[in-house]
Amino acid sequence: MTPLLDLFLLRPQAYVHACQNQRAPWWISAFLILVGVVYGLLVAVLQRTIGGELQGIPIANIPFWVLALGNMLPGVLIAIMVHIGAMLVAWLMAKALGGPGDLGALYRVTGYLFPLSLPGLPAVAFTVAATTVTPPATGPMPLLYQLLAMVGTVLLAAGLYQALRVTQGFTPIRAALATILFATFSTSILALA
């Protein structure tokens, strides 16, 4: 439980654990599955709450377990794809700033970042749920979801900063610059979607 506590307290020891512990791949798998399942459940709950139709079938007529399972499985796959993407972008930013890169270490530490994204999942799930139902939901995202998304973003940035310090041996300024570049690149890609 210590790595998880270190992770949420934004301590570098969590990323040292990711790089050195033989059980780190199990933790990474658990984190990816956890985030994917939570995301899928949130999408299912929000789709049920919003109502309407899904693929021409009234959502009220779809058993919740089918709706949940139909969102959890893609949720886990999405988490895996996001992990690979985050690892590659972190590698690009590390190499751009003169770091060693080391894909293996970046694979491990970016996997450890996933629990930090949990506060932001309601906002992402709301956006997906609102656009997948027919008719699409209108109205603003709840303020609570927006605030949680900001908390998740700050946690992820702080975690990435620590991860880059541990894996790349960056100075605080270089790690901050790599984190800013990572955020800028990721935001620009998401804006295109």
User: pLDDT tens across 37-55, in order?
Assistant: 999 999 999 999 998 899 8
Q: Does the pLDDT of residue 118 top 90, yes or no?
A: yes
Hey, how many other C-beta atoms are within 10 angstroms of the C-beta on 97?
Answer: 17
192 or 142, which is more confident: 142
Q: Can you read off the two tokens belonging to residue 140?
A: 């603003």
User: pLDDT tens across 66-95, in order?
Assistant: 999 999 999 999 999 999 999 999 999 999
Whole-model pTM over 0.85: yes
Give the whole-number percent of the chain exceeding pLDDT 70.
99
Which residues lie closer than 8 Å to 109 by C-beta, 6 or more apart?
15, 18, 19, 90, 163, 166, 167
The per-residue pLDDT for 168 is: 95
22 DSSP 8-state letter = T
